Structure 1
Amino acid sequence: MREKIHIYHTNDVHSHFEKWPRIRKFLKERKSLHEANGEDVFIFDCGDFVDRRHSFTEGTLGKGNVELLNDSEYTAVTIGNNEGLTLPHDALNQLYNDAKFDVLAANLYLSGGTRPSWALPYQIYRTSKGTKIGVTAATAYYRPLYKLLGWELSEPLSELESQIAELQKQVDIIIVLSHLGMHDDEVVAENNPRVDLILGGHTHHVFMNGKKVNYTTLGAAGRYGEYIGYIEAEVDTGPFLWKNYTATLFDTAVLDNPPNAAEYIKDLDEIGRDLLQTEVVTLPEPLNYSWLEQSELPVILCEALYKWCKADCALVNSGLVLSALEKGKVTKYDLHRMLPHPINPCVVELSGTELEEVLLKAEESGLSELEFQGLGFRGVMMGKFVYHEIEYNKESGSIKIAGEPLDRERIYELATLDMFTFGVFLPPIKNARRKIYYLPEFVRDLMEWELKSRYA
């Protein structure tokens, strides 16, 4: 019997709710339309829907995001690294308590090796005409970081192969929800021709009309809700199985905006603001910031990082700080607005020669004015680099660490930001022989700790 099945997918929304009213309206209307025609509809999200950059997500620790997915009648989701690594263990373990959709994460385990009760390795859905659709999912392989939070990850490609082998005995269609990135999605398609669809994310790539790899159709919808992915599946299950998939993307910028969209978006921020009104400290004077000049708040943050990590010295970029603190009451909302980044402190071990290379690179003309987003950074530009227990004289080229001349043979512990271990900005940090990550604390937690010690 031939039937038409409609599949919608999102990925890497990152709590960019400015597009959500359009997405919500579109999905609800399309679902109603297809169901009125007697056709089945499935809606999936491929991870990083939760991002603590937004006050609503921060205030609800992601549970508000789950309510939004419930409201839009998602069928199933998988987790991305933002769900997995920016929430404390208990917060992730309870995140989906009220979910009305399935959560699929085949390669996520508790530290003892058992699966969390809320994370299914796969789920099988049956259409109204009897077609069986098997859906599995996997998330990016940041195993050492997950381990610090009390989770264990299996290698995603081999895990998916096991789940696909299990599903192909039972279903007519196999779908993978992937938060692995474009390259790994192509590898999965190359090695598993029985997979019909891979709906992907993580690397924020865009396939306007899908991409064919062997027998598999890949779909990807960019980032921040800029697109909604759509797959029209035509299936005939007998006497011979016949399938055809047509992929496209809908640009959310041209979709109808509901009349209450601005109010809806404002309400989400106000909910977060209200939940984050806990007072942290009372300041006797304002604290300012600058991205291109030495200023108070980046210096305080750098010193907090140094103390927290108990390192030899510290380095941060002033672009982290996005707002000043006024005299008087400072709340968790103020700190979140100032430092919204899901960025963790870390320590790297560098030789004196490598540390010198880092400082030379940090002081390079142009790097401080680099505009970028990603790797946890939710600001605008890199900003001037700020140091603690590092004295660097540009004119003479002399460097002192904790008041002593740099020893090129010595191994130093540098406190810095985890984003520099993932990005290419400062290669010696990315390639450091040893890296120690501190989770689940974010840089704003360190700022709160330092302000309390100074102004309690």
Structure 2
Amino acid sequence: MSEIIHLYHTNDLHSHFENWPRIKDFLNQRCELHKEVGEEAITLDIGDHVDRWHPYTEGTLGKGNVTLLNEAGFQYVTIGNNEGITLPHEALDSLYKEADFKVLAANIFQSDRQRPAWALPYAIHTTEKGTRIGMIGLTAYFQSFYTALGWKLSDPFQELYKQLDILKEQSDIIVILSHLGLYEDERMAGEFPEIDIILGAHTHHILHQGKVVNNTLLCAGGKFGMYVGHVEIDLDDTRKVVRKEAALYDTNDLKELPNESEWIDSIYNKGREYLQQKCVVLPKDLDCEWFEASELPRILCEALREWSNADCAFLNAGLLLQGLQAGEVTIGDIHRILPHPINPCVVELNGSELKEILIQSLNQEWPHIQMKGFGFRGKIMGIIVHDRVDFIKGKNDVIQKVLVDGRELIAENRYKLALPDMFTFGHFFPQIQRSKDKQYLMPEFLRDVMVWKLRGMFS
């Protein structure tokens, strides 16, 4: 008996709930339609549904996201790096306690190498007509971050090899829930021809009609719930796949629902209510400027150095979205001005390396750069603010000396530099990116460091 199977997938929502009402309604309608005509429909999320920039996610530590996935009828999900490394160990370990869906995450383990109770390496979904769909979930190999939080990761490709060896004899179709990124998905398709479909995520790529690599169909729907992905699979009487096609539905084209705006506002306000605990009472305003020296970025930079027990520190003023007014400041206020899932990091360098990096941090083009990614949830870079760093200039403002804590750097001495972890990625400081002497201080974010500092200053 021939069969048609539908896969509906979302990825990288990042707690952008403004599209969620339409996504939920669309999935409910489509699944009901397929059921009426005897076709199978499966709903899957490919990770990074959680993002702690949104107060509802922050206030519930992601459990509110799980409630939304339950309400929308999702059946299978995998975790992304936002679920995996922006939540404390205990929070991730309990995140899916009330989940009505299965979590597929083959390459994450507890520190004792046992699988967490909430994670399955694979699942076999058997349709009403008996077709067996083997599904494996894989998450990005951010090993050092997971280790700092008390988890162990296995290499996703090594894990895939193990699980495929089990699944390929038990499945008619093999689907991978991949939070690895497009490059890794292409590699996967090239190395494992037995995979029929890869539902992708992580790099926010958009594949409107999918992409075929080595007869494997790659699919992905961008980010922020802008699209819902759909894969239609046709099987013949022997359960052989004879057609597989991908499409994306633009959520802007879906019908606007009654009270949609009210729901979006309500979930934001509900999150704000969760974050009303008093942090501190400020005796004065603490201002924040992105393009000139101001007090709140200076305080945060000093706090970063102190928290990290480093010799010096720097950060970009654009991390702080606003200043703080005198009076009571809540945890929600700190979250509002520092929404980023960014951790403190300490890099150990010799004096020559540190001098080069500190001079490079003065790049006059950086303050106006519009930043995206690396955990940054703001708008622009802003000026670089330093703590315990001084620059001695000569003629024509040429830097002659760099001082750390009032002393000139010694080339062969070792120093500890504290900075936001986003500077250990990307192209800003290649020396830092390549360095093996990095320590990520987790699970605290910069906003936790700010709370700690302000309570110490004003309590």
How high is the TM-score relative to the length of structure 2? 0.97
How large is the Cα RMSD of the aligned pairs?
1.1
Residue 412 (structure 1) aligned with residue 426 (structure 2): no
Measure the CA separation in 2 of the matches of 1:433 and 1:162.
30
Amino acid at match of 1:14: H
- 3-state SS of 2:454 partner: helix
Deviations 1:95-116 (A, max 9, x none): 0001000000000111111111
Once the two structures are TM-superposed, the CA of residue 223 in structure 1 deviates from its matched residue by 1.0
Amino acid at match of 1:358: I
Runs of 4+ in 1 over 6 A off after TM superposition: none
Measure the CA separation in 2 of the matches of 1:320 and 1:86.
17
Measure the CA separation in 2 of the matches of 1:299 and 1:435.
23
Measure the CA separation in 1 of the matches of 2:150 and 2:109.
9
Identity of aligned residues (%): 50
Measure the CA separation in 1 of the matches of 2:241 and 2:15.
38
Once the two structures are TM-superposed, the CA of residue 138 in structure 1 deviates from its matched residue by 0.7
Measure the CA separation in 2 of the matches of 1:49 and 1:140.
14
Measure the CA separation in 2 of the matches of 1:400 and 1:23.
55
Measure the CA separation in 2 of the matches of 1:318 and 1:242.
54
Aligned to 1:199: 199
Among 444, 450, 454, the alignment partner of 1:451 is 454
Aligned to 1:424: 427
Aligned to 1:33: 33
Q: Structure 1, unaligned stretches of length 5 or more?
A: none
Aligned to 1:251: 250
Residue 439 (structure 1) aligned with residue 442 (structure 2): yes
Aligned to 2:309: 310
* Mapped contact 1:131–1:237 kept (Cα < 8 A): no
Aligned to 2:374: 375
Once the two structures are TM-superposed, the CA of residue 228 in structure 1 deviates from its matched residue by 1.1
Once the two structures are TM-superposed, the CA of residue 428 in structure 1 deviates from its matched residue by 2.1
- 3-state SS of 1:436 partner: strand
* Mapped contact 2:318–2:380 kept (Cα < 8 A): yes
Measure the CA separation in 1 of the matches of 2:110 and 2:175.
25
* Mapped contact 2:233–2:241 kept (Cα < 8 A): no
Residue 18 (structure 1) aligned with residue 23 (structure 2): no
Once the two structures are TM-superposed, the CA of residue 352 in structure 1 deviates from its matched residue by 2.1
- 3-state SS of 2:190 partner: helix
Once the two structures are TM-superposed, the CA of residue 359 in structure 1 deviates from its matched residue by 2.3
* Mapped contact 1:350–1:433 kept (Cα < 8 A): no
1:199-218 aligned at under 5 Å gives the runs 199-218=199-218
1:33-182 aligned at under 5 Å gives the runs 33-182=33-182
* Mapped contact 2:137–2:178 kept (Cα < 8 A): yes
Once the two structures are TM-superposed, the CA of residue 75 in structure 1 deviates from its matched residue by 1.1
Measure the CA separation in 1 of the matches of 2:228 and 2:360.
40
Once the two structures are TM-superposed, the CA of residue 423 in structure 1 deviates from its matched residue by 1.8
Amino acid at match of 2:249: F
* Mapped contact 1:347–1:436 kept (Cα < 8 A): yes
Once the two structures are TM-superposed, the CA of residue 362 in structure 1 deviates from its matched residue by 1.8
Measure the CA separation in 2 of the matches of 1:171 and 1:428.
47
> Given the superposition, is the C-alpha separation of residues 358 and 237 from structure 1 closer, same or farther in structure 2, using an over 3 Å criterion?
farther
Aligned to 1:260: 259
Residue 187 (structure 1) aligned with residue 175 (structure 2): no
Once the two structures are TM-superposed, the CA of residue 407 in structure 1 deviates from its matched residue by 2.1
Measure the CA separation in 1 of the matches of 2:353 and 2:258.
56
- 3-state SS of 2:178 partner: strand
Aligned to 1:339: 338
Counting matched residue pairs gives 455
Measure the CA separation in 1 of the matches of 2:258 and 2:411.
63
1:259-408 aligned at under 5 Å gives the runs 259-393=258-392, 395-397=397-399, 398-408=401-411
Measure the CA separation in 2 of the matches of 1:308 and 1:216.
48
